[in-house]
Structure 1
Amino acid sequence: MRSPWFLSALAASLVSLSACAGQETVAPAAPTQAVFVGHPVSLIDVQGRCTLVKPDQSHLALDMEWPCQFSLGPDKQLRVETFNQVPIFLVERSEHMPAPSRDCLTKIQAVRLVKETFEVSDVSQFASCGPGQWDQKMYTALFRW
């Protein structure tokens, strides 16, 4: 015959296990704040659009829906590529396509700083699940030089 203490401990363990099983796994937050050439930048939702908040706190609406995120390097910091002495970063957005597809629709848009002015490229779209590790061409090819 089992002791009441054993049955109490067993019941408490089962309650504890079911509570853990009911918890949702929280995905890490998408990177929406970064430092670009020494200045803070961030991404926010403005009426469903991905919007860049520049260092002077002015807003620049991007051509993609919210949510979006900065593209990071292996060091988990904003990845900045420099071409012709112009620094460039990417903003990306990826969403799963409806079942039965296992693909995603990913959009990327490059942002460069030319003579203290932020310029955005056209959006590039493709079927791939992000976030991605893009090569330098993805930063530079979206602009006219």
Structure 2
Amino acid sequence: MKNHRLAMCLAISLTSLSACAEHAQMPTTQAVFVGQQLSLINDQGQCTLVKPDQSRMKLDMEWPCSFSLNKQQQLRVETFNNIPIFSVWRSEHMPAPSRDCLSKMQAIRQIPGGLEAGAVNTFASCGTGGDQKMYVAPFTW
């Protein structure tokens, strides 16, 4: 009976690890922001945003990176002073025995004539969480 439980727990753990690894390997690198197609690419180890006109904006974080999504798995957009803002993030697990992650998030807002990236937020948490303050605070208003 103990061996059966142990085998079952091991199988569940491996399945969970496999799902986490799959998610980590397949970040969301395509999104639509205010009707414009955006993508994220690896540019010599740097996370880079490709804009609709195919121009590039190097972000202040390493690859891999991903767009932050809402519950509907669409690009999460926060609006402040009628200005839409989205974010790009990356998260990596810290060495064992820690269960924490080191995450980076960079907010990007629409400005007349293009996009503007804010400063990178670094925090010790796994995932893409964060509230509206993390989208708004990196900018001078």
Q: Quick one: which of 91, 96, 103 aligns to 1:94?
A: 91
Residue 72 of structure 1 aligns to a residue whose secondary structure is coil
Q: Which residue of 2 aligns with 1:74?
A: 71
RMSD: 1.5
Q: Which residue of 1 aligns with 2:43?
A: 46
Are residue 140 (structure 1) and residue 141 (structure 2) matched? no
Q: 1:1-145 maps to which residues of 2 (within 5 A)? A: 25=18, 27-28=22-23, 29-132=26-129, 134-145=130-141
Identical columns (%): 62
TM-score (normalizing by structure 1): 0.80
> Could you tell me how far apart the structure 1 residues matched to 2:43 and 2:69 are?
22
Residue ranges of structure 2 left out of the alignment (5+ in a row): 1-13
TM-superposed CA distance for 1:100, in Å, is: 1.4
TM-superposed CA distance for 1:116, in Å, is: 2.6
TM-superposed CA distance for 1:84, in Å, is: 1.1
Per-residue CA shift, 1:73-123, capped at 9, x if unaligned? 011000111111111001000001111111100000000011132100010
1:144 alignment partner AA: T
1:104 alignment partner AA: C
Q: Which has the larger radius of gyration?
A: 1
TM-superposed CA distance for 1:131, in Å, is: 2.7
**Structure with a larger share of its residues in helix:** 2
TM-score (normalizing by structure 2): 0.82
Per-residue CA shift, 1:19-74, capped at 9, x if unaligned? xx9xx946142111000000100000000000000111100000000000000001
- State how many pairs are aligned: 122
